[in-house]
Structure 1
């Protein structure tokens, strides 16, 4: 009884609320999946596939510098 904290109590209602209202906003993997496509895959394609991690880091660094200009 002394652990009747609202945050702990609310978790019991999550499954019912998600079924009734759908997933909460900003709790989707779509944003991170899209970011992976835009950044990681483009960076990999910009390499010559030899020692690609260093090339990807360099490519990403350049893209960030261009973005900040």
Structure 2
């Protein structure tokens, strides 16, 4: 799933791949489970507040904004 248009809410779901892309805040709405890869890129901000993000140990978490 790719969230890439301005400010958006990221639904509390199980994702295989999750891409947070383009400018604007993307805000987690609950527990997010990612089975494969999670990528944050192109000036996107991912806001989690007190919500949990679980990326499987064997998989990748990539923040391309560093």
More helix by share: 1
* TM-score of the alignment, normalized to the shorter chain, above 0.5: no
Give the TM-score category using the shorter length.
Answer: under 0.3
In the superposition, the TM-score normalised over structure 1's length comes to 0.18
More strand by share: 2
Higher radius of gyration, 1 or 2: 1
